[in-house]
């Protein structure tokens, strides 16, 4: 009689699976850390498309182009594990819609943000229930968008913004020790992508805003393998944590270029070792924030082009509907 209260193993013996080394190539040589091929002030190429989910009021998809070293590794793989990850996420906007009758009266639009990693988005598999990092991303995203949306135009209404992260940035290179990067640097790139994607989806939903808001990231990195304290970190924008040996400090901003305003600022790390230049009177924090703003300006150009295409598509559909009638 079969015992239904437990899971029985296979009737015959099995052997443990044998996996190839993750950090060795086919020739046996260790896999090298991916190197940054871009200039310090150069952004990665961004793919942004709106209106991909017809059931939502507005939607967008954002994908960052992988670095040249990562693209070469994928075209001719030498290891089972890619050296780095790219950023891919999808955003949907539902609303504005009436609040439930049980909800309290609100003279402004009630904004709700929900950020969730797909289970396969990161190297460490995510659960189905949101963890603390995902809730923190949702709070940062809500703060960034509250200063953009004209909330008083939709009283007693709600707006739900949901972002699904299909592939997230790594916090460190897969060959580094687990405790080499003690901070979640990849989350800052994810937040910048979420801000840009949410702004595109809100515009696709035809919701009035003060301006288009874009996210940008800048970081102070140290690629020197020696433990010499005299070496100054370098300021780079749109950094990939897997490409650098150590990240000293990083900053992400939500920036509105037309109004020259910052709606969200997240600064992490120690920027006191920054050296902007001999003739530069800025402090480390100021240089880091200015670098993040420059990255946001670059992302805003892609965002503005995607919104323009969305508006042209909406106008063409309206004209075709009038002509058929």
Q: What angle, rounded to 10 degrees, do the helices at 132-146 and 186-204 form? A: 50
Per-residue pLDDT of 8-42, as tens digits, reads 666 666 666 665 555 555 555 555 677 778 888 88
Give residue 285's pLDDT band: very low, low, confident or very high (50, 70, 90).
Answer: confident
DSSP string, 158-174: EEEEEEEEEE---SS-T
- Burial class from Cβ neighbours inside 10 Å (0-12, 13-18, 19+) for residue 72 reads middle
As a dihedral over the C-alpha atoms of residue 31, residue 32, residue 34, residue 35, rounded to 10 degrees, the angle is -160
For the chain, the first-to-last Cα distance in angstroms comes to: 71
Of 127, 148, 173, 175, residue with least CA distance to 21? 175
Banded model confidence at residue 182, pLDDT cuts 50, 70, 90: low
- Judged on CB neighbours under 10 Å (0-12, 13-18, 19+), 211 is middle
Instruction: Strand 110-117: give its sheet, edge to edge.
Output: 46-50, 58-64, 88-98, 157-167, 110-117
* The two three-digit tokens of residue 84, written as one number: 């780095």
- Domain boundaries along the sequence of the chain: 37-320
Give the SS3 label for residue 209: strand
- Rounded average pLDDT over 195-200: 96
The answer to whether the Cα torsion of 27, 30, 31, 35 is positive or negative is: negative
Coil, strand or helix at 293: helix
Please identify which residue in the block is written with the tokens 């309290």.
104
Q: Please state, rounded to an integer, the average pLDDT across all residues of the chain.
A: 82
State residue 122's pLDDT score: 84
48: left (phi over 0), alpha (psi -120 to 50) or beta: beta
Name 89's bridge partners: 62, 165
Give the angle subtended at the CA of 26 by the CAs of 23 and 29, to the nearest 5°: 55
The pLDDT tens digits for 123-177 are 788 888 888 999 999 999 999 999 999 999 999 999 999 999 999 887 776 666 5
pTM of the model: 0.84
Residue appearing with tokens 């998809």: 61
Q: How confident is the model at residue 66 (pLDDT cuts 50, 70, 90)?
A: confident
**Statement: 37-320 belongs to CATH 3.30.230.70:** yes
Pairing of strands 58-64, 214-222: unpaired
Prior bond of 96 cis (ω within 30°):
yes
Distance (Å) of CA 210 to CA 73, 247, 255, 256, 312: 43, 34, 12, 9, 20
Confidence of residue 85 (pLDDT cuts 50, 70, 90): confident
Q: Which of 24-33, 105-114, 153-162, 310-319 has the lowest mean pLDDT?
A: 24-33
């Amino acid at each position: 009689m079969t015992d239904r209260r437990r899971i029985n193993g296979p009737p015959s013996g099995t052997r443990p699976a044998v996996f190839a080394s993750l950090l060795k190539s086919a020739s046996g040589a260790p896999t090298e850390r991916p190197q940054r091929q871009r200039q310090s002030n150069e952004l990665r190429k961004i793919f942004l498309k709106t209106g991909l989910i017809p059931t939502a009021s507005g939607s967008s998809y954002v994908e960052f182009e992988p670095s040249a070293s990562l693209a070469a590794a994928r075209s001719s793989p030498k290891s089972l594990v890619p050296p780095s990850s790219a950023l891919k996420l999808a955003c949907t906007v539902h609303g504005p819609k009436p609040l439930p009758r049980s909800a309290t009266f609100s003279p402004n639009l009630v904004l709700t943000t929900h950020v969730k990693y797909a289970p396969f988005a990161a190297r460490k598999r995510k659960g189905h229930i949101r963890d603390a990092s995902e809730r923190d991303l949702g709070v940062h995203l809500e703060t960034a968008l509250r200063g953009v949306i004209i909330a008083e135009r939709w009283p007693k209404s709600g707006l739900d913004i949901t972002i699904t992260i299909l592939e997230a940035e790594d916090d460190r290179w897969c060959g580094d020790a687990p405790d080499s990067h003690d901070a979640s640097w990849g989350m800052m790139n994810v937040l910048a992508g979420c801000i840009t994607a949410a702004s595109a989806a809100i515009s696709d939903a035809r919701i009035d805003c003060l301006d288009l808001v874009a996210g940008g990231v800048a970081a102070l990195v140290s690629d020197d393998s020696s433990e010499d304290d005299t070496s100054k970190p370098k300021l780079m924008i749109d950094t990939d944590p897997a490409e650098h040996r150590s990240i000293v400090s990083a900053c992400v901003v939500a920036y509105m270029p037309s109004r020259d305003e910052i709606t969200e600022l997240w600064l992490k790390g120690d920027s006191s070792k920054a050296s902007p230049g001999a003739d530069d009177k800025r402090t480390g924090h100021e240089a880091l924030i200015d670098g993040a703003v420059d990255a946001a300006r670059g992302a805003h150009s892609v965002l503005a082009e995607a919104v323009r295409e969305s508006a042209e598509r909406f106008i063409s559909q309206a004209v075709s509907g009038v002509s058929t009638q």
